[in-house]
Chains A and B, each alone.
Chain A
């Protein structure tokens, strides 16, 4: 069974439109959660991390926000997309002292 599920798989959105990307972790209690972003040709850049429900720390400011409404859910969103938001978004999780596990990602194209 898949532990981490990201949705949607891909999105094409207009500049100025809102965005919501989601991630669900199954079978793990109180994982650390992360959002990463990869621009075309760029590296994986961490955007946010969360250690517990309701608490999210921002690592890089990209006019995006993240929330953790439930222990197993991590949401990435913005009210107004920019062209520069295009790229590949990865959700990931870890437990204390172990490796980080990644989802399959969402490819976002802003037009």
Chain B
């Protein structure tokens, strides 16, 4: 079945530094949808980025990611982390949205002043 791997469980960094969260996936689908969701405490997880287009950069709220089908990756990056970026970040995959999403284990990001 589908699977998503996020290698970092916890990332701690100082405000203003760049951050990169790794995401790789396995799927039988040749045109999967890849997503990054952000989950703040006491809120619903919400979509940060999504893509199904190979080698196209997608950006939102200062974050960006590029789907690379050749390496089955969809890493999330931001050039300058802010305190408000502290949250849990999930990478997710869908072969067909009807069947829902397969999530990675999540990466907790803690940004300090």
Q: Which of A32, A43, A104 has a CB less than 8 Å from the CB of B97? A: A32
Contact status B97-A90, CB under 8 Å: no
Chain A neighbourhood of B43, CB < 8 A: 104
Chain B residue total in the interface (Cβ 8 A): 19
Residues of A within 8 A of B100 (CB): 32, 34, 36, 46, 49, 59, 92, 94, 100
Complexed CA–CA distance, A97 and B104 (Å) = 21
Complex interface residues of chain B between 34 and 75 (CB less than 8 A to chain A): 35, 43-47, 50
Interface size class on chain A is 20 to 34
- Which A residues have a C-beta under 8 Å from some C-beta of B? 32, 34, 36, 42-46, 49, 51, 57, 59, 90, 92, 94, 96-105
Q: Which chain B residues have a beta carbon within 8 Å of chain A's beta carbons? A: 35, 43-47, 50, 90, 94, 97-106
